[in-house]
Amino acid sequence: MSLHPDFPSSPYAELLPDQRWFPAAEELRSTAYEKLLPPLVAKIRSEVSAWRADSYVGASETSRALLNWWFETEHLVEQADGTLSPFRYYFAQREAVETVIWLHDVRKVRDKFDLLRFDASGAVSTNMFDEDWPRYVVKMATGAGKTKVLSLLIAWSFFHKLYETDSTLARNFLLIAPNIIVLDRLRADFDGLRIFFNDPILPDNGHQGRNWRDDFQLTLHIQDDVRVVRETGNLFLTNIHRVYLGDVREPSLDDDDLRDYFLDPFGPKPVGKTTDSKTDLGEVVREIDELAVFNDEAHHIHDPKMAWFKSIQ
């Protein structure tokens, strides 16, 4: 299970499908590669690679403009000392964003039936999927930069809905963290919408004839601190427990946030910067017509009995 001899050493270099690691000896690549990967990965990875090489043909005008800005344009970012240094996204981040856009724009994947076209195992069936809404899952290693992928896809959805007349995407976003630790980490990046302006996410006004920066109007709502909610342009950053409207139950060791369990004997838990509750955020987001939901660290999204699944329903 050694790395391919041409496996790149740089995290920015393109990693071709036939160079990817897989859990077997290299001499088995031609016969076992597709069977040893998660069922949908091999075909999607190969087709996205070919699509990238073909300059994103078939994508919407908005998607192509953004992809070329993010990944084919040189960017200089100001550092803390005032100097400028080149900025590039990791290839893992690029491939994740490209894959979601390719599935949506090019292959028009809208449900589980569309996704099954990419099954290389022959062992996946529709009855393995309980949801009836479009869901794209991106699996990335720790440290690969999932937050940057989230920010790029939020911007893509916003502009796609704004500029493409037939877009089914959204300009309101619910970004869900599995626990308070992840929530605080996300807040550090999204507070003040700084990630959208510190990273080269928003193209310059005039790029491909659009006023991207002027048109990107977004208001951040952290946890239950909900300000005036406009019809569009809302980003709700919250913990899963704020959105799921379930029965109140006794704290358990199975909870994502264990503070209730350990602090329950000592009275009300302490209020932190991202735990204070002012309004029912779950009720607010249910009143919004267009909404894209992003889940960070989606370990628990596959079980229909879990809070994530129930909250979407």
Kindly report, residue by residue over 224-253, the tens digit of the pLDDT. 777 767 889 999 998 876 665 444 445 566
Whole-number pLDDT of residue 180? 83
Whole-number pLDDT of residue 274? 45
For residue 71, which phi and psi values (nearest 5 degrees)? Answer: -115, -10
Please tell me the distance from the alpha carbon of residue 241 to that of residue 264, in angstroms, as a whole number: 17
Whole-number pLDDT of residue 38? 82
Whole-number pLDDT of residue 246? 47
Q: Which amino acid is at 21?
A: W
Please tell me the distance from the alpha carbon of residue 270 to that of residue 259, in angstroms, as a whole number: 9
Whole-number pLDDT of residue 156? 98
Give which of 303, 289, 293 is closest to 135, Cα–Cα: 293
177-215 burial string, b = 16+ CB within 10 Å, else e? bbbbebbeebbebbeebebbeebbbbbeeebeebebeee
The first and second tokens of residue 216, run together, are: 């990107």
Whole-number pLDDT of residue 288? 81
Whole-number pLDDT of residue 244? 58
Whole-number pLDDT of residue 179? 80
The first and second tokens of residue 20, run together, are: 């990817």
Whole-number pLDDT of residue 305? 63
Whole-number pLDDT of residue 307? 56
The first and second tokens of residue 294, run together, are: 């992003």
Residues of the chain with pLDDT under 70: 1-2, 228, 241-282, 297-313
CB 237 within 8 A of CB 222: yes
Residue ranges of the domains in the chain? 32-312
Give the CA angle between residues 159, 164, 168 to the nearest 5°. 85
Give which of 126, 235, 86 is closest to 170, Cα–Cα: 235
Q: What is the pTM of this model?
A: 0.84
Whole-number pLDDT of residue 287? 77
